[in-house]
Amino acid sequence: MSENKFENQVQHLMDELKLTPSEEVWPAVKKRISEKRKRRFILFFLPIIAGLILGAVYYYQNTRTSNITENKIIHTPVLTPDPVKENDTIHHAGSPDSEKLNKDQFPVANLLQEEKNHDQKTSQQIFNTPLINDGNKSAEFNSVMKIVDTNMNVAEVITDSQFSGSNNNRVSDKVDDRIIHQEVINNNIEATVSIDTIDAENFTDSLPLKLSFKEEEKAKDTLEIKRDSILIVANEKKSGKWNFGFHFAAGLSKTGNRIIPVNEAMDYNSSPGQGSPILISLPKQSRAGFSFETGFVLQKQLTPRSSILTGLQYCYSSDRLLAGRRYDSTLRLQNSFSSAVNNYYRGNDQWYTNRYHFLELPIHFQYQLNKNSKVPVQWQGGLIFSQLVSTNGLVYDPALSGIYFHDKKLFNRSSLSISSGLSVQVNSKQKIKWSIGPQIKAGVTSLRKSSNDQNQYLLSGGLRVNLFLD
């Protein structure tokens, strides 16, 4: 019981030591509490937003990769040689004419790997097997040799034969054997050969059969026409849609104005009437602080080398000011929209960090400076419409030889800025495109309403990274 009594006495004494803030101090305490809550709110949601963005990029990339793997189809032109005319001589295997015919029309290129050579030789033997025709039996052959596309569906022989006897079955068996064996070779080739794109210059190296000079030239022309058509269609589709992306920029920012002329500085230190002038501490120039911005971007291609960009972004800017110590007392101001303040900063011994939070709508024009499609160098410039969400910035007033105080009403909520920058795209041929480069941004409209403060316009610069999903 004695221990509990002692604890109660200690607790009672501690409660008596608590200080109750006065009515003048309490509003300042409330402001500080609300400012801390806003900071915690922003710091809490920033990691969540960043995680959602990274998760969306990861999901999108995996989905596109799986779709491309499942839907990959090899497209190559179809080449058809001149058909064999009616009443052409049928050459038997082993004869010189037969060997010459086979060399001219069915020479197989060494496209497969060494382990596939056995299948090639077996296939050639089946193709060169003679169609035996008895002397007593009359036969009329109307043979059409068709070389289908270069995906290795090669040498399907369609033979329309009209003759009697057991030779009919023998010819059918030969043709069926050729087709069945060729399908086995096709499966092996499709498992080892993957072609995404074929260059016109290297096209003949990808053919399973060696073509004549005319057929080779015809194949090149056909492929060039198809490739140009595909590029034109791709550019048309690309120019008609909006590409979605993200961006992040980090650097430095500060507020400033033109240097105050000498006569204006003299006016600050002069007072009307008689007597010696009162020395007034002039507004101090701010120093650069950290800044960053992040958001999503929408891009629309206008021409192959120009595009427009817009989107929505969050921007954080800051600067440092030698404002002095904080005094929690009521002070009547001289040249300000506010008649009095409950706290202010004065002196030269402490630094204060002004923080500005903006929600921005950029509208930019982008132009590619070089003609190199592998490493494009792009310039972009435009306007940025900003809305000030919150700030703890200080404003200058010449009272008491120069003080700084905080008042949200003395800041312009809406502002306009111009921006410019360069970027280099490092992987223009990929589905996910990255670009990086410097950028600068300068305020066109003033940030503060007070005419006494020289820190009116916001200037920032840094490095910007763009990520586009094509």
Q: What is the mean pLDDT of residues 190-203?
A: 45
Residue 269 has pLDDT above 50, yes or no: no
The pLDDT value given to residue 24: 63
Give every CB contact of residue 81 below 8 A, 6+ residues apart in sequence.
Answer: 105, 145, 147, 215
| Cα→Cα distances 296→210, 219, 285, 314, Å | 52, 45, 34, 10
223-264 residue pLDDT tens:
665 555 555 555 554 556 888 999 999 999 999 875 443 334
**Tokens representing residue 17 in the block:** 């030591």
Q: What is the mean pLDDT of residues 132-148?
A: 42
Query: Of 46-50, 72-76, 191-195, 426-430, which has the strongest mean pLDDT?
Result: 426-430
pLDDT band of 184, cuts 50, 70, 90: low
Q: What is the mean pLDDT of residues 45-73?
A: 66
The pLDDT value given to residue 319: 95
Residue 36 has pLDDT above 60, yes or no: yes
Higher pLDDT, 119 or 271: 119
Phi, psi of 267 (to 5 degrees): -65, -35
Higher pLDDT, 26 or 122: 26
The pLDDT value given to residue 366: 95
pLDDT band of 196, cuts 50, 70, 90: very low
pLDDT band of 144, cuts 50, 70, 90: very low
Higher pLDDT, 199 or 446: 446
Contact assessment for residue 459 and residue 442, using Cβ atoms and an 8 Å cutoff: yes
**Tokens representing residue 355 in the block:** 């923080």
**Tokens representing residue 356 in the block:** 């500005």
The pLDDT value given to residue 285: 86
Task: For the chain, give the percent of residues with pLDDT over 70.
Answer: 47
